[in-house]
Amino acid sequence: MTSTGEDEHLHSTTIGDDGAPTVVFLHGLFGQGRNFTQVAKALAPQLRSVLVDLPNHGRSPWTDTADYEVVARAVAEFLAAGPVAEGPVHLVGHSMGGKVAMVVALTRPELVERLVVVDISPTTSEGAGEFEHLLDSLAGLDLATVERRSDADEQLRGPIDDERVRGFLLQNLRSSSSGFAWQANLELLRRDLPAIGGFPRLDATFDHPVLWMSGERSPYVRPEHAEMMRTLFPRTTLVTVKGAGHWVHSEQPEAFVSALRVFLGAADASDDGGAEQPAG
């Protein structure tokens, strides 16, 4: 069963049957909840998945700031208003969504049973220049000359030569009777990019099982990040997904789903906490 719902703050889509344990997915920068649709279908019927559009993305409202504590508060309110009605949920976050998920777990631990952080660390992230370039490229697109999505793709070929990246970014382009417009709040995301790249200082720990997944070819999870991760999340298990870059769930979907199934179905994932295990 698939249903779509929108509460006062955030838009979400639910895939799976009522009564199954719930896993909530939080996407990364430029993403949308629907990016996890195939993963959610692969997890059903054992798990019910809730795919959330974070603020300033997808069909969720725009806000005045991308500050992680503010965004995490909105997610916590969303969870408390519905998904956790039957108990704490499993929370999965990729990249920016991983940072949001970590802040939710640290500030509202009663809402989260198990946490999965995908290819990001609780530190200042490298690579802000890449995202600046992408945001500037999208903002520079002349929407007045775009009559169809292929026109936008053609304009972006110069600054963004990777076809897969362009396709991912162009998911944010929406057409209406008045023409094309960006669904994501590009101006705010560009302004608050330093905050998005950072991570708040929080005097808290989350003492539940945590799966920390990294892509073998990604620079976002480094050995020097491990101390901070395990300070905040002492029951962390690190899994490195072979052959994956930053987009672990789309580059190696079978390995990603397999790791989720093992972790979310395990009786106790803390026995090997801190051990690095290859996956894929």
* Domains of the chain, first to last: 2-125+198-279 (3.40.50.1820), 128-193 (no CATH)
Angular region, 278: left φ>0, alpha ψ -120 to 50, beta rest = beta
177 — pLDDT class (breaks 50, 70, 90):
confident
- As a whole number, mean pLDDT of residues 48-72 equals 96
- As a whole number, mean pLDDT of residues 241-262 equals 94
Q: Are strands 179-182 and 173-176 parallel, antiparallel or unpaired?
A: antiparallel
- As a whole number, mean pLDDT of residues 232-249 equals 95
What integer pLDDT is reported at residue 128 of this predicted model? 63
**Is 178 noted as a catalytic residue in this protein?**
no
**Is 113 noted as a catalytic residue in this protein?**
no
Tokens of 98: 């991983």
What integer pLDDT is reported at residue 279 of this predicted model? 41
Choose the catalytic residue: 57, 94, 246, 249. 246
81 — pLDDT class (breaks 50, 70, 90):
very high
- As a whole number, mean pLDDT of residues 164-177 equals 89
Choose the catalytic residue: 126, 163, 187, 227. 187
Coil, helix or strand at residue 269: coil
**Is 133 noted as a catalytic residue in this protein?**
no
Q: How far is CA 275 from the centre of its chain?
A: 24
Is the model's pLDDT at 69 over the cut of 50? yes
Cβ neighbours of 231 (radius 10 Å): 11
Q: What tens digit of pLDDT does each residue of 86-140 get?
A: 899 999 999 999 999 999 999 999 999 999 999 999 999 876 678 889 999 998 9
Average pLDDT of the chain? 89
Is the model's pLDDT at 6 over the cut of 80? no
Tokens of 106: 């640290």
Choose the catalytic residue: 95, 125, 214, 218. 95
DSSP letter for 48, please: E
pTM above 0.85, yes or no: yes
Is the model's pLDDT at 57 over the cut of 70? yes
